[in-house]
Structure 1
Amino acid sequence: MSKIGLFFGPEKGSVHRAAEKVAAAIGTDKVDLVSVNDASAADLEKYDKIIFGISTVGKETWDSEYSNTDWSKFFPEVSKASYDGKVIAIFGLGDHITYPAHFVNAMGRLAKELNKQNAKIVGAVDPAGYEFEESEALIDGKFIGLPLDEDFEPELSDERIGKWLESIKNDFGF
């Protein structure tokens, strides 16, 4: 079995911790954790199964102070890779209290870019049980991936990760 590439960013924060939880639940021997900070399209090409971990801050913050984040540097690399025959899943961190109108938007932006490349994205999540106003990650009535709120709902993350991984395990072969 080939390893799963779990591309995440930023490092040393909530996304990193969530990526480690996802990898541990799958089995760390089956997953390569790859920081997007130093990753390229060539790194994406190495994997047939990819999980992306991304965070969202509010648009007003994103547009100004966070324009040089790990993901802003890596995002152009996403569009350079080929996703033919690959299986993709996404988890995203958001803050439903401070940014309810932008909840996990980065997941939606990433999915839109992947959809332009005809990527097969699995792991949609029903929004029932989540509190938010708006989200670009809602596609056809479901979140395109797994939303997590480590700021205000960290006690729900392990259960949500477990259910999500159960929903994608057949596509990912773990």
Structure 2
Amino acid sequence: MSKIGLFYGPEGGNVERVAELIAEKIDADRIVIHKLKDCEAKDVAGYSNIIMGISTLGKHNWSSDNSGNDWDVFLPKLNGLNLKGKKVALFGLGDHIAYADFFVDALGDLADSIQLTGAEIIGQVSDEGYEYGDSRAFRDGQFVGLPLDEDFEDDLTLERVDNWLKLILPEFE
């Protein structure tokens, strides 16, 4: 069975806690966790099975002046990268109260970038049980990955992660 590369950013905070939780739930010999800020595109390309985690940080994300976070620096590195034949599962953090109309938008943006690489995105999740106004991550009746709200629904994270892993792990070779 191929190793899973788990890439997350930013370092510290909720995304890192969820990345570590996911890694704990998968056999240690099956997963390698990477802080995105320390990675190059070739690091991602070295895996057939990939998990990526991102957060939607707030209204400054939609500002043209915003740049320099881990994903802003990393995503351009994916340009031209061929991930055809690889499977990618995505998780994203957001705030469904303060940013109900932008809930996990960065998850949708990440999916757009990954689709351009030719990778197959797996692990789509129904919006059943979620409260939000709008989301760029919601498409064709489901989220493009696992949405989590560590600010107001952290009590649901463990169950949501467990259910998501049951969905994605059988798809990883």
Same fold (TM over 0.5): yes
The amino acid of 1:106's aligned partner reads A
What is the alpha-carbon distance in structure 2 between the residues aligned to residue 159 and residue 69 of structure 1? 29
Aligned partners of 1:89 and 1:121 also within 8 Å: yes
What is the alpha-carbon distance in structure 1 between the residues aligned to residue 150 and residue 73 of structure 2? 24
Aligned partners of 2:78 and 2:117 also within 8 Å: no
Residue of structure 2 in register with 1:8 after alignment: 8
The amino acid of 2:12's aligned partner reads K
Residue of structure 2 in register with 1:91 after alignment: 91
> Alpha carbons of 1:45 and 1:127: their partners in 2 closer, same or farther (altered >3 Å)?
same
What is the alpha-carbon distance in structure 2 between the residues aligned to residue 135 and residue 7 of structure 1? 22
What is the alpha-carbon distance in structure 1 between the residues aligned to residue 65 and residue 163 of structure 2? 34
Residue of structure 2 in register with 1:61 after alignment: 60
Moved over 3 A (4+): none
What is the alpha-carbon distance in structure 1 between the residues aligned to residue 35 and residue 80 of structure 2? 17
The alignment's C-alpha RMSD in Å is 1.3
The amino acid of 1:100's aligned partner reads A
Equivalent residues, number: 172
For residues 46-65 of structure 1, give each alpha carbon's deviation from its aligned partner in whole angstroms, at most 9, with x where no partner exists. Answer: 1000000000023x311267
Q: How does 1:54-133 map to 2 (within 5 A)?
A: 54-58=54-58, 60-62=59-61, 63=63, 66-133=66-133
For residues 91-129 of structure 1, give each alpha carbon's deviation from its aligned partner in whole angstroms, at most 9, with x where no partner exists. Answer: 000011111111001110111122222220110000011
What is the alpha-carbon distance in structure 2 between the residues aligned to residue 29 and residue 17 of structure 1? 20
Look up the SS of the partner of 2:15 in the other structure: helix
Residue of structure 2 in register with 1:163 after alignment: 163
What is the alpha-carbon distance in structure 1 between the residues aligned to residue 69 and residue 165 of structure 2? 27
Q: Unpaired segments of 5 or more residues in structure 2?
A: none
What is the alpha-carbon distance in structure 1 between the residues aligned to residue 81 and residue 145 of structure 2? 20
Residue of structure 2 in register with 1:26 after alignment: 26
Following superposition, the deviation at residue 28 of structure 1 comes to 2.3
Look up the SS of the partner of 2:7 in the other structure: strand
What is the alpha-carbon distance in structure 1 between the residues aligned to residue 79 and residue 47 of structure 2? 15
Look up the SS of the partner of 1:37 in the other structure: helix
What is the alpha-carbon distance in structure 1 between the residues aligned to residue 156 and residue 111 of structure 2? 24
What is the alpha-carbon distance in structure 2 between the residues aligned to residue 61 and residue 79 of structure 1? 24
For residues 54-99 of structure 1, give each alpha carbon's deviation from its aligned partner in whole angstroms, at most 9, with x where no partner exists. Answer: 00023x3112675211111011122342111101100000011111
What is the alpha-carbon distance in structure 2 between the residues aligned to residue 147 and residue 66 of structure 1? 23
Identity percentage over the alignment? 47
Which moved further from structure 2: 123-132 or 29-38?
29-38
Scaled by the length of structure 1, the TM-score of the pair is 0.94
